[in-house]
Chains A and B, each alone.
Chain A
Amino acid sequence: MSSFNIYMCGVGGQGIGMLAEVLSRACLDAGHKIMGCDTHGLAQRGGIVVSHLRIGVEARTPRVPDGNANLVIALERLEALRAADAMLANSGTVIYYDTIYQPIHVRMGKTSYPEADALEEKVKTRGGKVERVQLDGIEDPRMQNVALLGRLAATGVVEGVSAQIIEQALRDALPAKALGANLAVFEQAAEKIDQQ
């Protein structure tokens, strides 16, 4: 047996802290032993933000080793690609929200921004699976993290972490007045999967 490793990434300001907090609590509620860590420091808006979560007694260090993420959860397309390239384990899963934050190199015309296909290709070479999430009518982009949790709940890739458990963790974490809108997004993202 080895640990189940989740690597979360996005761009500063996208709400990765909340995503990691809710998912960690959900894992605990499911009875898992966990260890994780968030990146801090140079995480200004516009920089890369990362959070690691490792499940299982085998995980004695907090960071997911390169090439060992069984699950990548990304809040942005370019960061999803970067994680799929260096972090994803063979036959791992990538769940990502398909939104675009151009880095300065792209804006200055020094590099190009990837197509969604590039990500699909990359994950295929690892024998993995991609879940692309993009919901119509999300009023507040800061709820995209909740959409990813919804899709995660529906895929059931994290053992024991059911939709009910994640939903309860969300209820515990969110202020009452934000709860309704977030739960709606959560459910909308979870339902989408059935139609595919």
Chain B
Amino acid sequence: MAKLKDMLVKRESWSDLIMGNYAVARAMIDTGTRVITTFPGSPTPEIAAALDSVDRDKRDYYFEYSTNEKVALEVAAGASLNGHLSTVFFKSVGLNVASDSLIQLALMELIGGMVIILGDDPGANSSQNEQDNRWFARMSYIPMLEPANPQEAYDMYREAVRLSKERRIPIFLRMTTHVCHAREVVKFNGIETGAPDWTPGFDAANGPYVPIVSAVFPLKRKALAKLADFEELGNECKLNEALAPNGSKPVDGKRLGVISSALVAMSVLENLEETRASVDLLKLGITYPLPRKMIVEFLADRDEVLVLEELDSVLENEIKAAAWDAGVDCKILSRKDREDFMGELGPRRTMKILSDVWPSIFDAPAEIVPSKEISPRLPQMCPGCGHRSAFHAIRKALEDDTITVADIGCHSLGFMPPYNMGEVLFSMGHGLSTASGLSIGNDTRKVLTFIGDSTLIHAGLPGIVNAANHDHNITLVLMDNGTTAMTGHQPRFGSGEVGDKIPFVPLLEALGVKFIRETDTYKQATLTQHIRDANAHKGFAMVIARHPCMLKFTRKQRKDMPDLKMPNVRVDQEKCERIYECVAEFGCPSFQKNEDGSVTVSEELCIGDGSCLQTCPAQALWRPKPGGGK
């Protein structure tokens, strides 16, 4: 089978079964997008993986993992100012980080064109919230397109490029988790552009680009005019589409319709096709600015229209306002149940909403309540994970009333049993500053917090300068696994994978950190002692708890040395006293507790790392030497 990296740069048109993220990666390549930047985060990391897989000599584009989303957005914007078509993409919450510069973009003439792809996450499948980034389009005056499936993602990216270049404006492409990860057969165009022209086209005369004092209002006036223009275009545009899957016949003397967008609109369409209900559907591809003329016409032709959207009432509010202004005689209906403002709206949930509104036409689907008797299965740290050793060791040094603050990364999982460490979490890099606040005026309870090594670079440094130089009385554990593990092992700055190595100790010392201890996390007793010392230290203290990500390590090992087999850990059944420290406290998933009470090690899960050996009070765990024998 042809490799994805080759298909992505194939000059001719092609089609294949492919996920939405890969489809937009191809769209970037075939439209001649020249500068592409990102910071990793679900649901978009596969876009980066695809772009980064292409051999360097076959790339007509520059791609980088930037240090954070704000940096990524600025690099892409700078490229566009130079006349190069650019794209930045990141996950939903990444937009919060990028927003300081985002908010300026619509004021500027982006002569190369620029597309901002958002991976929003209704349902919070892999995020700390399900924020509705449609609000950001409104706040930043940036038009937003919303695809419903991989083919639309591909087509709409291309349309976004065309409109962005033509109007010199940024455009949002908002993809949600199950548009990013949906797979279907997508038809791709050929590559239309020739070799890149890297001539720097920046010209201040295209500006003004400095929005101060007298320039602010002219810039804002222009941005508003461009938005109004965009709305005109939307009124005629095929991206906004009125569908009548079952013919527009009145039902009980009433003409009915639904207004929706993206994947939710597809759920509604499935409901309409299944029930053959004669309800029409206005599917909006442009969700900002709304095509108010088109919407008002749709409303005017109908007696009742339901606005069915996911998350917040963004469309509903604007549609109701437009209807009021136009004085249309149509009853506008909306979601009522507070639950319907949360999570993804798949076909079962849209059917329920339709049945709430029009009970004589739609039947609510029977409720499915999952059995409480079936054991949950929580995500866990991998066998051999250095974070596990760290939590196990740190726990031993804590007092019962110590406040522990979590941060973002694989080590967030420490909040779950059996470790129960990390009791509050806001965002990437918040931990040490939130902890600093918890320490103020607090002479009685110790405060301990965590940060991952990628997060340190992403958002941690300002907090460290703050904590070190105000000498906040906290302990910060740097969980250094050498990579961005949670999102799929993207390179971490300073590891040597991109640019030079950044030695953390001199860096931290230069920033003013006075107490620093470091150890490999597998040396659990040493780590426990370091934490005790750090907690005893009055003021800001850091402990670097280091061990390479073992998932990344073992994958590489399997590739480089396919025949290597590390002997697994065994339980000496004669020595085992059934204390269950390995199972219940250390908690490596390789340990299986059998019905007779004995403990065995799963051949499939154990990687033979041996980090557990030191945890058994009865010393019943052992590992044969690689050559055989004890």
Interface residues of A (CB under 8 A from B): 2, 11-13, 24-25, 28, 33-48, 58-63, 65-68, 78-79, 81-82, 85-86, 100-109, 111-114, 141, 172-173
Contacts and interface: CB of A to CB of B under 8 A. Distances in A.
A37 B378 contact: no
Interface of B: 1, 17, 19, 42-43, 45-46, 125-126, 149, 178, 181-185, 263, 266-267, 269-270, 273-274, 346-348, 365-366, 368, 370-371, 374-383, 410, 413, 416-418, 551, 583-584, 587, 589, 591-593, 602-605
Contact of B17 (A24, A67, A103, A104): A24
B374 A114 contact: yes
Given A24-B17, A82-B374, A107-B591, A63 B380 contact: no
A44 B266 contact: no
A102 B125 contact: no
Of A37, A41, A100, A141, which is in contact with the most chain B CB atoms at under 10 Å from its CB?
A: A41
B375 A38 contact: no
B269 A109 contact: no
A79 B377 contact: yes
A86 B370 contact: yes
Nearest to A102: B592
| Interface of B: prevailing SS | loop
Contact of B126 (A41, A82, A104): A41
Contacts of A105: 375-378
A111 B184 contact: no
Nearest to B16: A28
B385 to A, nearest CB: 9
A46 B382 contact: yes
Contacts of B17: 24-25, 28, 34
Given A46-B605, A103-B375, 7 more contacts: A28-B185, A44-B410, A45-B383, A45-B551, A60-B149, A107-B587, A172-B1
A106 B599 CA distance: 12
Contact of A42 (B348, B365, B379, B382): B379
Nearest to A27: B17
5 contacts: A45-B382, A46-B382, A61-B266, A61-B267, A63-B346
Contact of B377 (A11, A37, A39, A59): A11
B379 A112 contact: no
B418 A108 contact: yes
A166 to B, nearest CB: 15
Contacts of B269: 60
A101 B602 contact: yes
B370 A85 contact: yes
Nearest to B371: A85
Given A45-B605, A104-B380, A61 B263 contact: yes
